[in-house]
Chain A
Amino acid sequence: MDRPIRVLVGKPGLDGHDRGAKVIARALRDAGMEVIYTGLRLTPDQIVQAAIQEDVDVVALSILSGAHNHLLPKVVELLKVENIYDETLVICGGVIPEEDIPFLKEKGVAEVFTPGTPTGVTIDFIKQNLKRA
């Protein structure tokens, strides 16, 4: 792939633990990607508007607060309303119980990266699952 992959990395909701999000952001940068780091306290609406303007390939969200079942489907829903879901890969990481993963995938999250996942695995997943060239 000739062009850099653009990834939005951010934290929806009120959770403030950003070590994971920052580590992933750096890892993605080191893998040659352009990371639009949007920080803390984003609403699903803010995430999606940013995704449109930045024309990102991937929306990568980090949640450790337990609010994932509510916030992540919301983001996917809005991406669909804005007609960009088909070109945007949605992934997430954080403290997410395994039993919630099927639900999230059903709602449109492509993959959930739980604690202990090496950054390389996430990077490979992105490269192999982009929705556009």
Chain B
Amino acid sequence: MFEKEKLEELKKNQTDWNDNKVGKSLERFPERKKQFATGSNQEVDRLYSPVHLEDFDYDQDLGFPGEYPFTRGVQPTMYRGRFWTMRQYAGFATAEESNKRYKYLLEQGQTGLSVAFDLPTQIGYDSDHALAEGEVGKVGVAIDSLKDMEILFDGIPLDKVSTSMTINAPASVLLAMYIAVAEKQGVSSQELRGTIQNDILKEYIARGTYIFPTEPSMRLITDIFEYCSEHVPGWNTISISGYHIREAGSTAVQEVAFTLADGIAYVEAAIKAGLDVDKFAPRLSFFFNAHNDLLEEVAKFRAARRLWAKIMKERFGAESPKSMQLKFHTQTGGSTLTAQQPDNNIVRVAIQTLAAVLGGTQSLHTNSKDEALALPTEESVRIALRTQQIVAHESGVAETVDPLAGSYYIESLTNKIEQEAMEYIKKIDDLGGAASAIDKGFIQKEIMDSAYEYQKQIESGNRIVVGMNKFQVKEETPKGLLRVDPAVGEMQKEKINQLKGERDNKLVQEKLTILKEAAEGKENLMPHILEAVKVYATLGEVCGVLREVFGEYQQNVIL
């Protein structure tokens, strides 16, 4: 791309400039630090120029938006055609309350729903289970049965709204419930659009809401792939997640590497289960973090897109371009929010929003300013939504596709991140793949080391977090935070009792027995799960049966 001779000359001139012009400046006053680095500790040079992109080839490295290797974006018109989906994660307490919040957000201009479930639901326990004590409705909505799901989506047309559900181990059950609710609304599963997170590997790595061991978990995941490709073709059956890996403390490179390694594991599992790559791969989606270092994040997203495209094409022989597109949802980094001077978080989220948009995300959740302290209030979640709307309508970054392309720094960093991520993936391959690497604790240890390093940097003052270790003020106790009524637990227990009194318990037992037999065999479990939830078997009952057959995952300690 750059003429060899001109490059040589440029190199000379840049060296000249560094030695003389810069040299003189440094004598007058030094630079702020001895070493400059990105938020993820990647070394950053003083100046980037064509010298950093010697072998740069536009066609090979970038290509055009919507075309392999998709570096510049997965759609040709990107935000000129349609803005990213503004999808705020929400859910708490009861289905009734969450339903109200969803309607509020849709009124305020949100374009897709994102459901947060409480921990007992995420771990397959009903609200009356011993381990659910104190947890019901706290971090998301409590769903114990189809009845709760019906209330959750009451008055929300499932043929018009796309819904993302952050659910992993029991994803099959919640998806079945969603399908059942749609059916009652007269909407065929063929019309449904949405996503389930359904990414168990990252649960083992970083998030902790696993239930079953690896093998049966992968089976459930591939069952869902298969079922949806036939019955729910508009559904994104997995959201391969890097967000939580980053939240656990990883670097940007690790976020890309471990997420894509997980992706590789899922593709391999699906192929092993007999599925055709080009049939399920178009429905794979990803979920990334938008952290503070704006430029590094943009490079990260672009590197991820290019790397995944190459992997799908070269490693898995995918033929359809749709199989090679890395579509992703982004959430601004929760761990960057501070409890100190919470209004500052609005600014952080704005920068992270820019990062996600300049990086070409398909949908975005922005955190609210009070989320280092509690779940967001209506007011603060509105500001978070407005942040996206201001970026969309006022900042100009959505008026052209991939505007930062061609920046010497951005392209250089994109290359670097891709290369380093590839090295990690090779290491993971050597360890036998992602599942095996997790078993051996390799991925967790890498993340833990980064997290510890980060903490040390903050405590030594090498990393500044405004308001927290610099520019502090005397804090006032924050007021008006969202509190979840502790009575929610009791309310849900009441509902369960009522349900069990009203439903046909014999029928429920029948369906659960059939499910158990199917789980012991090799059949696709989705139809059986659907049958069970339709007769109002509870989430805990369905997962209880599966727990019996599959056992539970055993924690690994890597410190």
Which residue of chain B has its CB nearest to the CB of A70?
A: B134
Contact indicator A70/B452 (Cβ below 8 Å)? no
| B557 at interface by CB-CB < 8 Å | yes
Contact indicator A120/B208 (Cβ below 8 Å)? no
Contact indicator A26/B559 (Cβ below 8 Å)? yes
Of the candidates A22, A69, A99, which one forms a contact with B477 in the assembled complex, judged by CB atoms under 8 Å apart?
A99
| B451 at interface by CB-CB < 8 Å | yes
CB-CB < 8 A to A118: which residues of B? Answer: 458-459, 469
Which residue of chain A has its CB nearest to the CB of B120?
A: A14
| A27 at interface by CB-CB < 8 Å | yes
Binds B, one of A33-41, A48-56, A78-86: A33-41
| B144 at interface by CB-CB < 8 Å | no
| B486 at interface by CB-CB < 8 Å | yes
User: Within B307-349, which residues are at the interface with A (CB < 8 Å)?
Assistant: 335, 338-340
The interface centre, meaning the residue of A40, A67, A114 with most chain B CB atoms within 10 A of its CB, is A67
Contact indicator B557/A15 (Cβ below 8 Å)? no
Which residue of chain A has its CB nearest to the CB of B125?
A: A14
Known contacts A71-B134, A115-B339; A17/B208 CB under 8 A: yes
State the CA gap A37–B249 with chains docked (Å): 19
Contact indicator B248/A15 (Cβ below 8 Å)? no
State the CA gap A65–B477 with chains docked (Å): 20
Of the candidates B339, B375, B455, B468, which one forms a contact with A23 in the assembled complex, judged by CB atoms under 8 Å apart?
B455
- Interface SS of chain B: loop
Contact indicator A67/B135 (Cβ below 8 Å)? yes
Known contacts A40-B555, A43-B131; A65/B138 CB under 8 A: yes
The size class of the interface chain B forms with chain A is: 35 or more
Which residue of chain A has its CB nearest to the CB of B132?
A: A14
State the CA gap A65–B208 with chains docked (Å): 12
Of the candidates A13, A22, A116, which one forms a contact with B134 in the assembled complex, judged by CB atoms under 8 Å apart?
A13
The size class of the interface chain A forms with chain B is: 20 to 34
CB-CB < 8 A to A25: which residues of B? Answer: 559
User: Within B132-169, which residues are at the interface with A (CB < 8 Å)?
Assistant: 132-135, 138-139
| A95 at interface by CB-CB < 8 Å | yes
CB-CB < 8 A to B132: which residues of A? Answer: 14
Contact indicator A95/B459 (Cβ below 8 Å)? no
| B372 at interface by CB-CB < 8 Å | yes
User: Within A52-69, which residues are at the interface with B (CB < 8 Å)?
Assistant: 65-67, 69
Contact indicator A41/B131 (Cβ below 8 Å)? yes
Contact indicator B486/A69 (Cβ below 8 Å)? yes
Contact indicator B452/A37 (Cβ below 8 Å)? no
CB-CB < 8 A to A19: which residues of B? Answer: 206, 247-249, 335, 451
The interface centre, meaning the residue of A14, A67, A70 with most chain B CB atoms within 10 A of its CB, is A14
CB-CB < 8 A to B468: which residues of A? Answer: 116
State the CA gap A19–B333 with chains docked (Å): 14
State the CA gap A17–B202 with chains docked (Å): 12
Query: What's the minimum C-beta distance from A87 to chain B, rounded to whole angstroms?
Result: 26
| B478 at interface by CB-CB < 8 Å | yes
CB-CB < 8 A to B119: which residues of A? Answer: 13-15, 65
Which residue of chain B has its CB nearest to the CB of A73?
A: B134
CB-CB < 8 A to B208: which residues of A? Answer: 15-18, 40-41
Which residue of chain A has its CB nearest to the CB of B250?
A: A19
State the CA gap A13–B224 with chains docked (Å): 29
Query: What's the minimum C-beta distance from A131 to chain B, rounded to whole angstroms?
Result: 26
CB-CB < 8 A to A70: which residues of B? Answer: 133-134, 486
State the CA gap A16–B211 with chains docked (Å): 12
CB-CB < 8 A to A16: which residues of B? Answer: 203, 207-210
CB-CB < 8 A to B130: which residues of A? Answer: 43
Which residue of chain A has its CB nearest to the CB of B134?
A: A70
Contact indicator A98/B478 (Cβ below 8 Å)? yes
| B277 at interface by CB-CB < 8 Å | no
Which residue of chain A has its CB nearest to the CB of B131?
A: A14
User: Within B186-229, which residues are at the interface with A (CB < 8 Å)?
Assistant: 203, 206-210
Contact indicator B555/A23 (Cβ below 8 Å)? no
Contact indicator B452/A69 (Cβ below 8 Å)? no
CB-CB < 8 A to A71: which residues of B? Answer: 133-134
Which residue of chain B has its CB nearest to the CB of A116?
A: B468
Query: Which 8 pairs across A and B sit closest by C-beta, in order of nearness?
Result: A16-B208, A70-B134, A66-B138, A67-B134, A14-B119, A115-B339, A116-B468, A98-B477
In addition to A14-B135, A98-B477, A116-B465, 11 A-B residue pairs with Cβ atoms within 8 Å of each other are A16-B207, A16-B208, A19-B451, A27-B455, A39-B557, A41-B208, A43-B130, A66-B374, A67-B138, A70-B133, A71-B133
Q: List 14 A-B contacts (CB under 8 A).
A: A14-B122, A16-B207, A23-B455, A27-B455, A41-B208, A66-B484, A70-B133, A98-B477, A99-B477, A99-B481, A114-B339, A115-B338, A115-B339, A119-B455
Instruction: Identify the A interface with B (CB < 8 A).
Output: 13-19, 22-23, 25-27, 37, 39-41, 43, 65-67, 69-71, 95, 97-99, 114-116, 118-120
